[in-house]
Structure 1
Amino acid sequence: MALTLNNNTKDRPLCCTMSSCCSTKDGCSANGQGNGDKIHDEVKEYYGKKVKTQKDLETKACLMMPSKIPSHVKQALSAVHPEVAARYYGCGLVVPECLEGAHVLDLGSGTGHDCFALAKLVGEKGHVTGIDMTDEQLDVAREYVDYHRDKFGYSKPNTDFVKGYIEKLGEAGLEDSTFDIIVSNCVVNLSPDKAAVLREGYRVLKPGGELYFSDIYADRDVPEHIRKDKVMWGECLAGALWWEDLVTLAKEVGFCTPRLVSAGLVNLDDNKPMKDLVGDIKFVSVTYRLFKLPQNTSKEPAQVVYNGSVTGHETNLKFDALHTFQEGDVVEVDAELSAILQESRFADDFTVRPASKKSKADPKLCCSGAKGVPTNPFEGPLDKESSSCGPKGCC
């Protein structure tokens, strides 16, 4: 059953509340920006002092994982040191496809759980950098750099960790157009300035690069009384962005339209005080992918054929909530997705040709119409696989 999105704030400007972005807009007061340092300090205390293991979290919002994980990803996750794994707090799985040789940045890397798994997947020629603002978590991550080098059989470590704020990557020494992929797991919601996070992410990505991240979103603006609760901040709910604001922010920064990969409702039934506090607000754990296309990229609908070359996805490749590409099938895609597949690291994995004006004339054509961009995480059913293009279920 699909959820009904509450649009009671749809016509208001993108305000500078801490649940939005803290960028000054006409008609808004910058009440969020002045509290940015306070929010940072409270989050650092929460994850540096209070939360030592997963058992210390008061909700499961930051522990949501997908039900299906590719076998090669499972192997990489299982290789992470137990102490690092015990201090993992993530609302999804931030392991995108096509990683070999990539340079990856993890925003809010914590003790390095995702970094070390990704280090295995990018291989010895790739590299993973984690950035975090919490000393206690960075200490754990750095302690196990050499352990994972030896575990993976590399001649030298392919991970490093820097201290800094995800809103100020330049201050941490991260340069323009450095990374192929940025990942983040349940961290952007902890930032009091989400516009700055996206701007900095866009800056350090190479043209054709991707921001692939999981986070908590709300079906409306989170009200002031929740945003003032520091436990709700630490539990990833007070800072949750209204999902429509993410779409607006991403486009303003320069990213393509956020493409929804997966979504699952956050259940607060096991914490009555928090459930009473949020009332009828709904929260969802979402994975989105945002691409930075090169300037002046031409965009035209196209037919694409997946060649089955992505490791672990040889038979089919789930790209977003509407597109699962079966190897060898001809699929029509929208103009933006066509550009993404041609300009990103997926370029060698697809054959692209002009869209046919008579789509049904091609006997191998599976999808005879581009399906657009999936963005709304509250459109049901949640936690379902994307539509499949191929003999077992042509979309």
Structure 2
Amino acid sequence: MTDEQLDAARSTLEYHEEKFGYSNVQFHKGFLEKLDQIPQLKDASFDLIISNCVINLCQDKEAVLRHCTRLLKPGGEMYFSDVYANRRVPQVLKDDQVMWGECLSGALYWNDFENLARKVGFVDPRLVEDAPITIESADVQRAMDEAGQQDLSFYSATYRLWNMPTPKLEPHCEDYGQAVIYKGDIPRYPSGWLLDKHHYFETNRIKTVCGNTYTMLKDSLLENHFDFLGDFSTHFGIFDGCGTSMPYDDPFGKKPGSTGKDGSTKGSCC
């Protein structure tokens, strides 16, 4: 981010305050890996952090995620989109400048990302949506071919990460016989609301959920939009269907996590 870009953003601040009705907008210059050097960003002061396809360009991704857990309030959420890979990107491609420019070289292997998220305190990363990235650059395809990485695939994926560390969230989806009912009162979502790729809540319909999903809804800003049934007094074992395969859909049906002919999704969770 350059000073010129910040000046351009600040020049439109008054217009956007009037148009959208919010005056609590500020722009600060800094590095994502060094958010602690921006004094205006206080610990536990954010309800929501949004990022769009930039963390893959950071060298120290763990530092970025750690700062986000520090800045979020308890029950706060990090909602962001980025680029991920179906396997670890080899060093020869990480050093390729064209692939860096295409936001591919810095893509994390999806399982490394999810494990990193858990390591810093985002215990149960939730995938909201994903789509395969088509390689349209001849230079990028040539680099991948020369590196023997024809089966390397990239995906655009959106995640929700909740700042609810253990013991509130458990490492796996556990069954406590709980259920929730969406009230249909979130603006623009009168018929239903999507929490993540495997949790769509139809208005006024009882839906069984695992303990983690129950907690994400009850101990966050979403609490008033749901009715909650059950508690944590009885444990019934692992929640059926909680898997560890690659969660992204493959349109060709060749990779784990793809949608099968029966419409099921391998690796789906409660």
CA contact (8 A) 2:98 2:139 kept: no
User: Within 2, Cα distance between the matches of 1:386 and 1:313?
Assistant: 26
SS at 1:380 equivalent? coil
Partner of 1:215: 82
Partner of 1:320: 196
CA contact (8 A) 1:323 1:386 kept: no
User: Within 1, Cα distance between the matches of 2:166 and 2:118?
Assistant: 14
Alignment map for 1:31-70 (pairs within 5 Å): none
User: Within 2, Cα distance between the matches of 1:296 and 1:206?
Assistant: 16
Change (3 A) 1:273 1:171: same
Change (3 A) 1:245 1:211: same
CA contact (8 A) 2:123 2:169 kept: no
TM-score with structure 1 length normalisation? 0.56
Give the drift of 1:169: 1.1
Give the drift of 1:295: 6.1
User: Within 2, Cα distance between the matches of 1:214 and 1:138?
Assistant: 22
CA contact (8 A) 2:85 2:109 kept: yes
Alignment map for 1:291-370 (pairs within 5 Å): 291-293=162-164, 296-297=167-168, 301=176, 302-354=178-230
Write out the 4+ residue segments of structure 1 that deviate beyond 4 Å after TM superposition.
none
CA contact (8 A) 2:123 2:166 kept: no
Alignment map for 1:153-164 (pairs within 5 Å): 154=21, 157-164=23-30
**1:145 paired to 2:16:** no
Match of 1:277 among 125, 133, 143: 143
CA contact (8 A) 2:73 2:163 kept: yes
How well do the aligned residues superpose, as a CA RMSD in angstroms? 2.6
**1:380 paired to 2:246:** no
User: How many corresponding residue pairs?
Assistant: 239
Aligned sequence identity (%) = 39
CA contact (8 A) 2:123 2:165 kept: no
Give the drift of 1:349: 1.0
Q: Deviations over 1:78-119 (max 9, x none)?
A: xxxxxxxxxxxxxxxxxxxxxxxxxxxxxxxxxxxxxxxxxx
User: Within 1, Cα distance between the matches of 2:82 and 2:91?
Assistant: 20
**1:250 paired to 2:117:** yes
User: Within 2, Cα distance between the matches of 1:167 and 1:321?
Assistant: 29
Gaps of 5+ in 1: 1-132, 357-368, 388-394
Amino acid at match of 1:330: I
Amino acid at match of 1:137: Q
